[in-house]
């Protein structure tokens, strides 16, 4: 150590490693060693912000399944396509983005199944739940589905539906359509970006193929499925 040789020194590190640096300094008998702390380039930012910095499709996630009532099995959960030559494109942010993109691809697949079965098309989507509280995930959903995505003021749709049922049962509301305007209001609308939508339109068939092959490996016993329904 330079300090032990009489050479004034300072340790530079990021805020995330401050506790470790102070502990190491204390263990070496230099508890008063000055630390120069700087923000971590990625570790200190929120997950969504890190995901927004990651390139679309940089990492591929297999997390959920496309509905198949005849064979309800989830493929083995996986993160694919890490680039060791570009760690920034394969870190935490890229993995978070990959999960959001995979969820949007699954939503697109289920939408297409409904359209095939019923002939109905969808010109807009309502995005609720905890995922609706961010900014990136609704935008990815809009880009993948190529339709506007609306986030309501009340994002807890299950709780809201239960409250509405109770209200109708108690006579507070005359019908299920009699929901106050304040509870039907939208907090934000995300329009699809044409360039991003075109990019996801190209990636979606590849994701479907990758998912199918991952599912085949799970079915062959090479990988453990994420989940398998009883009797499937």
What is the chain's mean pLDDT, rounded?
A: 86
Regarding whether 131 and 101 lie in a shared domain, the answer is yes
Give yes or no: residues 126 and 179 share one domain: yes
Question: Is residue 53 domain-resident?
Answer: yes
Q: Which helix (H) or strand (E) is 60 found in, with range?
A: strand 60-62
Residue with tokens 């062959």: 220
Query: Do residue 1 and residue 110 come from a single domain?
Result: no
DSSP 8-state symbol, 152: E
| CATH number, position 105 | 3.30.420.40
Same domain, 127 and 21: no
Phi, psi of 80 (to 5 degrees): -125, 160
For residues 147 and 98, membership in a common domain is answered with yes
Gap between the Cα atoms of 24 and 27, Å rounded: 5
Same domain, 56 and 145: yes
Per-residue confidence (pLDDT) for residue 5, from 0 to 100: 67
Q: Report the C-alpha gap between 191 and 139 in whole angstroms.
A: 7
Residues 194 and 93 in one domain: yes
Inside any domain, residue 93: yes
Does 117 lie in the same domain as 46?
Answer: yes
**Is the predicted pLDDT of residue 57 greater than 90, yes or no?**
yes
End-to-end CA distance of the chain, in Å?
A: 63
Q: Are 184 and 151 in contact (CB under 8 A)?
A: no
Q: What is the pLDDT of residues 126-161, one digit of tens each?
A: 999 888 888 999 999 999 999 999 999 988 888 888
- 165: CB partners within 8 A, 6+ apart: 176
In a domain, 227, yes or no: no
Are 36 and 76 in a shared domain? no
For residue 98, name the pLDDT band (cuts at 50, 70, 90): very high
Q: How many CB atoms lie within 10 A of CB 51?
A: 23
The answer on 69 and 4 residing in a single domain is no
Q: Where are the alpha helices (DSSP H) in the chain?
A: 18-27, 47-53, 92-118, 136-145, 157-169, 181-184, 194-219
The total of structural domains in the chain comes to: 2
Same domain, 74 and 133: yes
Residue 163 lies in a domain: yes
Which residues share a beta bridge with 151? Answer: 188
Whether 22 is covered by a domain: the verdict is yes
Structural domain span for residue 83: 41-219
Q: What is the dihedral of CA 112, 117, 123, 129, to 10 degrees?
A: -70
């Amino acid at each position: 150590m330079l300090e032990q040789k009489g050479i004034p020194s300072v340790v530079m590190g990021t805020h995330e490693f401050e506790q470790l640096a102070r502990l190491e300094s204390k263990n070496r008998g230099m508890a008063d060693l000055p630390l120069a702390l700087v923000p971590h380039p990625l570790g200190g930012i929120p997950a969504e912000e890190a995901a927004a910095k990651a390139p679309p499709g940089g990492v591929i996630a297999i997390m959920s399944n496309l509905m198949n009532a005849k064979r309800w099995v989830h493929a083995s959960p996986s993160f694919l396509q890490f680039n060791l030559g570009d760690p920034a494109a394969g870190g935490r942010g890229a993995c978070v983005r990959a999960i959001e993109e995979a969820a949007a691809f699954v939503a697109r697949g289920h939408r297409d199944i409904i359209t095939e079965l019923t002939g109905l098309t969808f010109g807009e989507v309502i995005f609720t739940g905890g995922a609706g509280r961010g900014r990136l995930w609704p935008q990815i959903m809009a880009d993948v589905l190529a339709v506007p995505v609306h986030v309501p003021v009340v994002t807890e749709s299950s709780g809201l539906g239960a409250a509405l049922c109770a209200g109708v049962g108690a006579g507070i509301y005359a019908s299920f359509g009699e929901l106050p305007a304040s509870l039907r209001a939208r907090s934000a609308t995300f329009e699809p970006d044409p360039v991003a939508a075109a990019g996801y339109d190209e990636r979606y068939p590849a994701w479907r193929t990758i998912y199918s092959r991952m599912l085949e490996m799970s079915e062959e016993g090479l990988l453990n499925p994420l989940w398998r329904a009883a009797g499937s």
